[in-house]
Chain A
Amino acid sequence: MTDAANTDRWIRRLNLVQLVLAGVIIMAPTVWMVLSSFKPSFEVTAYPPTLVFSPTLDNYVELTKTTPFLSYALNSLIVTVGSTALGLLFGIPAAFAVSWTRISWPAILTLAARMAPGTLFLLPWYVMFRQIGMIGSFTALILSHAVITLPIVIWVLLPSFDGIPRSVFEAAQVDGCSVTRILWRIALPLVASGVAVSAILAFVFSWNYFLFALVLSNGDTKTLIAAAFNFIGEGSTQWGALMAAATLIALPPLVLAALVQRWLVSGLTLGAVKG
């Protein structure tokens, strides 16, 4: 065997080891969470952890008995869909405007906003919404979650819009299109998969976001992830129910990502190479 072939073989083996390690690191907590949700309550925190056990749905039954789980799920859905729609409504024209004008500072500003810790926004949001009597309202939650969804939409769509040859927009201008019509009739259909990807990512990030809902919601508008926090108490924590809740909360984003994974990758790289 030649040296080159030998090196190649070793590189492939190392790649495999890296992939397995990455898989274990990423998946182990998830697998542990799912398994724990089917364990009897006393076994969840047993040490050493039990791998063989009699699976039970007790934790799920407990969850639905002690909490209005479906109501929280509906709240999560309202906030997530609302903030995703808001993110798309403002993010699509914003990304197009940045691409069209080639003035990038607004996009950098939104990215900075996304990278800033949520607590930075929390206090102003809280004071503002309290003053206008909106604490605990869906409107407050949807508006606050737009801080998460809007930058995602802008940053996923910006390379997609940039990837459309400029001459296509210019041809539309010469054909008689206004800028608004160019966005609606020309640009948007060409970045449809990018829009879908940004919507899915915005949905997932908003669905999983904990902090704003914890402070800005009330009993009627509490989202799933904030409600799950109730299972953690100072004296005792209901680990079994918490794991069941966490498993159910993780389900929609995981199912969504699994369904569109191929599309997700192609959508994220859309615009990187001109067709």
Chain B
Amino acid sequence: MASISIRSLVKRYGNFTVIPDLNLEIADHEFVVFVGPSGCGKSTLLRIIAGLEPISSGDLYIGDKRVNGVQAAQRDIAMVFQDYALYPHMKVYDNMSFALELRGVPNAEIDARVKRAAALLHIEPYLDRKPKELSGGQRQRVAMGRAIVRNPKAFLFDEPLSNLDAKLRGQVRAEIKALSQELKTTMVFVTHDQIEAMTMADRIVVLQSGTIQQYDTPEIVYERPANQFVAGFIGSPAMNFFPVEWRAEGAILSQGGTAVPLDGETANRLRRAGSAVLGIRPEHFAVVDAADGIAVNVRLVEPLGSDTLIHFDLAGGSAIARVDPALRPKVGDRITVRPQQGKTHLFDAANGQVLR
């Protein structure tokens, strides 16, 4: 168990810089999720921690030890790969015991550790099988078992749920979360799925173009996004954005000139800025009486069971509201929506940073 410290890290492939300058501190026992779109550098960062990619410049510490030049084999890190990367010619038992055997752990202890991990992951009946005889979910568990038996300083997960179907993904997600609470080991998890990030992480690192956009708890990342990128990336469906400006009569959508009812604090910030980008999450739109909000035309209705998504046209673009499932307007209906007080966000129109 150890902390991970990344200082002024740069990663280049030839002339192409993937990570320009990154600083990150992951505390001991912490569960940190790297999230971001494809190509943002999250997997590269994980592979650098694992020792599978060299660092161009900067420092990486695992615990108190600087590990820049240390081989993956010597870092005492366990990793679960996207495609599980089990050894196809070895039985499940041997897959799990291999790393211990390499470290010269006595046979009796290897057996005890493998059986304990197998029991924890409910894979005892499969110990004599080869990986090809297992389902995707079972392979996933074996890959986790292979990591657990080692009692490593930290676990690294590289999108381990992306090959599972939706139901199994939810189940394994909960199991990994429970495992992290039981093992109390530092865990770094890479995903492009913001639901995985939100549900599992103690803290989330939101990455874009190799740069950390925000590093905070899921609640803060969701409720107080640092910039427009984070606001748009975290949350599903994504946050709605509208250019907005302050005029004598109040907040007005720049396109179409519709007045937007904002709470006092947000209105003050907009007044100070003059113009900005207004962000409203779909779940923070309320459908209200005609006199009290913005009248819009319903373009599409998606009943999801637990709630209903209403697509409507606003300010020259498209917007989404997530509303009570009992509410079932029809396409073409005219409804009135209103942003919930205190739930709106303002971003600088030039650089996307949140306006506070």
Interface residues of A (CB under 8 A from B): 165, 167-168, 170-178, 181, 185-186, 189-190, 275
Contact = CB atoms under 8 A, between A and B. Distances in A.
Contacts, number: 60
Nearest to B103: A176
B88 A173 contact: no
A173 B85 CA distance: 11
B79 interface: yes
Contacts of A190: 88-89
Interface string B83-118: 101111100000000110011000000000000000
A168 B87 CA distance: 6
A107 to B, nearest CB: 23
B85 A181 contact: no
B52 A170 contact: yes
Given A176-B102, A181-B102, A171 B73 contact: no
B22 to A, nearest CB: 22
Contacts of A177: 73, 102
A135 B87 CA distance: 47
Contacts of A189: 89
Interface residues of B, number: 26
Contacts of B88: 168, 190, 275
18 contacts: A165-B85, A167-B83, A168-B86, A170-B72, A171-B85, A171-B86, A174-B50, A174-B51, A174-B72, A174-B79, A175-B73, A175-B99, A175-B102, A176-B73, A176-B103, A185-B98, A190-B89, A275-B88
A178 B82 CA distance: 22
B229 interface: no
Question: Most chain-A Cβ atoms within 10 A of its Cβ — which of B75, B85, B88, B103?
Answer: B85
A178 B73 CA distance: 7
Interface of B: 50-52, 71-75, 77-79, 81-83, 85-89, 98-99, 102-103, 132, 146, 150
Contact of A170 (B81, B86, B89): B81
Contacts of A175: 73, 98-99, 102, 146, 150
A176 B132 CA distance: 24
Which 5 pairs between the two chains have the least Cβ-Cβ distance? A167-B85, A171-B85, A175-B99, A173-B72, A176-B102
Contacts of B150: 175
Contacts of B102: 175-177, 181
Given A174-B72, A176-B73, A176-B99, A186 B81 contact: no
A117 B87 CA distance: 42
Contacts of B103: 176
B142 to A, nearest CB: 11
A268 to B, nearest CB: 20
Contacts of B52: 170, 173-174
A38 to B, nearest CB: 48
Contacts of B78: 174
Nearest to A185: B98
Given A176-B73, A176-B102, A190-B89, A171 B51 contact: no
Contacts of B50: 170, 174
Nearest to B102: A176
Question: Most chain-B Cβ atoms within 10 A of its Cβ — which of A171, A177, A275?
Answer: A171
A184 to B, nearest CB: 12
Contact of A167 (B72, B81, B98): B81
